[in-house]
Amino acid sequence: MGIREKVNRELRSGLYTLFILKSVDALGETYGYEIIKYIEKKSNGKIKMKDATVYPVLRYLDRHKILRSFWATTGSGVPRKYYALTDEGKKLLKELMEDYRELEILAKNILEVKE
C-alpha cells in the first residue's frame, strides 16, 4: 500500500469514534448498519467504514455506559441492535467536540506555516 493511502487511513481512523458518536446523536436511536450508511452518505461516499470496525466500537461504548442498547426483533427482517446516547454519552460527545475543535486549531498552527 502506498504511503499516501497509509497516511490517509491514519487520518480517518482517528475520527471514527467521534463520527460514530455524532451519528448516534444525529440519528437518535439507531443501529450499526444505519450508522455506516449515514456516514457514507454524509461524506458523499468518500468514507466507508467497515462493519468489523463499527460493531466492536459500539459494543465498547455500550460497555462503558456511553451508549445504551436493545435488540429490536419486531416483525420480519434481520434483528437489529439499536443504540442511543446515555446522559454520560451526551456529555462525552460535547467534550470531544470541544477537544476536536481545539485540535483543529493546533493542527492549523502547524500545517499552515509559510516560511
Partner DNA sequence: TTACATATATAACACTGTTAGGTATAAGGT
Partner DNA sequence: ACCTTATACCTAACAGTGTTATATATGTAA
Residues that bind DNA in the complex, under the rule CB under 7 A: 6, 9-10, 12-13, 16-17, 31-34, 37, 49-53, 55-60, 76-82
Nearer to DNA, 85 or 114 (CB): 85
The partner in contact with residue 44, picked from DNA, a copy of itself, none with C-beta cut-offs of 5 to 8 angstroms by kind, is a copy of itself
Nearer to DNA, 5 or 115 (CB): 5
The C-alpha cell at 50 is 467497515
> Counting every residue, how long is the chain?
115
The C-alpha cell at 2 is 502506498
Q: Which of residues 25-54 bind a copy of itself (CB under 8 A)?
A: 26, 39, 42-44, 46-47
Query: Is 97 among the residues that bind a copy of itself (CB under 8 A)?
Result: yes
Q: Give me the sheet containing 67-72, strands edge to edge.
A: 30-31, 80-85, 67-72
Shortest approach of a copy of itself to residue 75 CB, angstroms? 27
**Beta 67-72 vs 30-31: how paired, if at all?**
unpaired
Helix (H) or strand (E) holding 33: helix 32-42
